[in-house]
Structure 1
Amino acid sequence: MSTASQVATGLTQPGTRCPSTELNLPEVPDPGAVAPRDAREISRIFFSRLATLEEGTSDHQYVRNTLIELNLALVKYAAGRFRNRSEQMEDIIQVGTIGLIKAIDRFELSREVEFVTFAVPYIVGEIKRFFRDTSWAVHVPRRLQELRIDLAKATDELSQRLDRSPTMRELAEHLGIDEQEVIEGVVASNGYTAGSIDLPMDDSSDHSSTPLSDRLGAPDADLEIAENVQALKPLIEELDERDRRILRMRFGAELTQSEIGAELGVSQMHVSRLLTRITTRLREGLLAVG
């Protein structure tokens, strides 16, 4: 007898309808208590039966619900990867369960892949989508996140009552908090979303509007080169005449190592070693200055 067929029975009272018996399925009184290995085997049996049932019927709903409960451990496993997030774990599990349901509705045994392998990406994807749609662009304390919601509701209510936008003082009186707290909440609300620097600077429909990115400054590469040159000058002066001559030939006249070797009467390999020693000394000196 298989593990699935050994699942305990006994929840069905005498005279009541037993879906498991009528559908020729193992009874699962407490799906959440089933061990993962057993849940995998039982799920395979239920998926096979689910494919034969008409969607919307009570039998289909029973098999589908049982599959959801059997595999909730997958949601808890996936949600554990996000336990360091500020959101409540209950919310994450609830969102992950939506991913599990989507996976169950789309899974087919003919795929010849384990349901666990198929479902986890759906669950994780749903959780990540939740974070993407609800998370703040800039991290702020939960107190200010909740204050933002209260301010939004108060602003809508007062705007309708006053037929204009409420002032900070009016919002503070309405919420029973200090005006400084209202200002802090409004400032924090700016961190809920982040605008793209590629968006146009104005709201006009003219496609020629300049994006913010075109107006932002950038590090001047030439300035960095100039700073490095000024820092290198005293370091080069500390070199002996031959080393300075090698630097002039290599980086000033742009001679090859072979040509420099011919000028100095040494091999190309020796020139390579000399250049390595000189440049290493200059690099270490430049880093020390920086």
Structure 2
Amino acid sequence: MNETDRTDAEETVVVERDREVTDELAVDIYRREGVEDAPVVVLVYGGAWESGARGQFSRWALDAAEAGFLAVEIEYRPSGEATFPAQIRDVRTCLSWVRANADRFGGDADRVAAVGHSAGAHLSLLAAVAPIGSFGDEDDPEPTVHAAVGISGPYDLRADSDEDGVVRRFLGGSEDEIPERYAAASPVTHASADAPPAFLLHGEADETVPVESSEGMAAKLSEAGATTELRTDAGADHVYLHSSYWYPEIRESVFSWLGRTL
């Protein structure tokens, strides 16, 4: 069911929840009243591909809308329900819906950025860099992304020690069993000059996904000739983008980059 309400803090920001994309997928839309042709920020939550939900990025979405973006929180099936490539196909389905409907909510379909954290960063970058048809989606509308932001993301699943089995559950087996799937699911293998501009952020004290993940992805994109920016933060952990201490600075850094790029 669709629900429309206003935030308590800002009467000008309207939130439209549970907009149906498919029978299985829905999105939440955050927009400032009266905005037109706004750049679109599509927010993709983390949670090791097996947890997380819309609402995780609500603080970011509200602030993005107040800053003049059209913000859309999307969702995807968890790995306990379906293994890869279900998640990237869901993300691309939502991206296609966002582009097709952006003008209805005051957004510009030709200025769309995917912004994700952790597993959501992985899916955001994969959606941005992998060619259409890589995951059996040849017949889908092209979900063009014009920029991508990844925060604390794992970008080479082949390099993951996977001590807790998260990647095996996500991909449906070990690397020895399905090496081609590990390669296809790793954004680093799709780096090319055709990739849209990317901004990667990572905490140097991240004990969940090491900072070398973003450093390696940035290097691959730069070597391929894509426009890339990397920010690493000393003392920051895996979820620093949501902390009261780091949030204002990281938000400003991301919004400023998006404003320059889109």
TM bucket normalised to smaller:
under 0.3
Greater share of helix: 1
Between 1 and 2, higher relative CO (CA 8 Å, sep ≥ 6) is seen in 2
Greater share of strand: 2
When normalised by structure 1's length, the TM-score is: 0.22
